[in-house]
Structure 1
Amino acid sequence: MTGQFESRLAALGITLPEAAAPAANYVSYVQAGDLLHVSGQLPKAEDGTLVTGKLGDGLDVAEGAAAAKLCAIHLLSQVKAACGGDLDRLVRVVKLGAFVNSAPDFGQQPAVVNGASDFLVEVLGDAGRHARSAVSSPALPFGVAVEIDGIFQIR
């Protein structure tokens, strides 16, 4: 039976991809008590390509927000994997840490990260409301536009 969060994703036409394996010497997530710390997720599209580029120099806020939403989808994939396939073990999103590949004069990082925040609230309701940071970065791995990590409370 599909849980409430998976049903909401399906209603939005979203299927969570398989959780990505770590690309280096780290783990995808660590559980400490009821908190799940998920490593930074990159904006990987359904076709496997990464959304690359620099906000304010080739990418606009809407494109950055779409990339941030992809990061949030991958965060949920990691949460689902950590919860043995049962996304409804998620109690709430506690905090997101977002890094935005930005041109020196770009200052709309919060608007970019809203792509992830708005998506999580749309799917999870009040359980998706979270604290966050949205910071500029002069470069990110593989030239991606955004990278987001998260802390989640699970049962």
Structure 2
Amino acid sequence: MTHAIETRLVEKGYHLPEAPAPAANYVPYVKVGQTLYVSGQISQRPDGLVTGKLGDSMSVEEGAEAARLCALSLLAQVKAACDGDLARLKRVVKLTGFVNSTPDFIDQPKVINGASDLLGEVVGTGGAHARSAVSAASLPMGVAVEIEGIFELE
């Protein structure tokens, strides 16, 4: 039986990717009791990385789309951590979003809203979360956005 989160993903036109493999010496997630810590997920599509710098080569809307892609990767990691059972996701606790941006760019929260909005849409009331949205002078491989998350599991 398909869980409500996966049903809403499909209804909203989102595709949950396979959980991305780590790009360096770390694990994609760590479970401590009912808390799941997911490592930073970078902005990427099936055909490659979403790169760019907000305030220079990317618009806020393009940045928000990059953040949505990060949120989908976060959910993919949650699903992998729960042995394929996304129904075990009780709530999104906290996101920390990093935006590759110019020194004068001030709309990091609007960019990370792409991820927050998606999680609210598909997780429902359990998608409301604490959050930080900060600027970075650069991010790995030139990606536009990286987001890490903390989740509560059933």
In the superposition, the TM-score normalised over structure 2's length comes to 0.98
Aligned match of 1:70: 69
User: Residues 109-128 of structure 1: CA distance to partner in whole angstroms, max 9, x if unpaired?
Assistant: 00000000001001111111
Q: Structure 2 CA distance, aligned partners of 1:15 and 1:113?
A: 19
Aligned match of 1:136: 135
User: Residues 37-70 of structure 1: CA distance to partner in whole angstroms, max 9, x if unpaired?
Assistant: 00000111132x1110100011110000000000
Letter in 1 for 2:82: C
Q: How does 1:51-90 map to 2 (within 5 A)?
A: 51-90=50-89
Aligned match of 1:12: 12
Letter in 1 for 2:28: S
Letter in 1 for 2:52: G
Matched length: 154
Letter in 1 for 2:110: A
1:12 to partner: Cα distance: 1.5
Letter in 2 for 1:134: A
In the superposition, the TM-score normalised over structure 1's length comes to 0.97
Aligned match of 1:35: 35
Q: Structure 1 CA distance, aligned partners of 2:38 and 2:92?
A: 11
Aligned to 1:85, what secondary structure does the other structure show?
coil
Task: State whether structure 2 residue 62 is matched by structure 1 residue 98.
Answer: no
Identity of aligned residues (%): 64
Q: Structure 2 CA distance, aligned partners of 1:13 and 1:108?
A: 26
- Gapped regions of structure 1 (runs ≥ 5): none
1:14 to partner: Cα distance: 2.0
Aligned match of 1:3: 3
Q: Structure 2 CA distance, aligned partners of 1:104 and 1:15?
A: 33
How large is the Cα RMSD of the aligned pairs? 0.7
User: Residues 121-148 of structure 1: CA distance to partner in whole angstroms, max 9, x if unpaired?
Assistant: 0111111110000000000000000000
Aligned to 2:112, what secondary structure does the other structure show?
helix
Letter in 1 for 2:67: A
Aligned match of 2:115: 116
Q: Structure 1 CA distance, aligned partners of 2:102 and 2:151?
A: 30
Q: Structure 1 CA distance, aligned partners of 2:131 and 2:13?
A: 26
Aligned match of 1:24: 24
Q: Structure 2 CA distance, aligned partners of 1:44 and 1:102?
A: 17
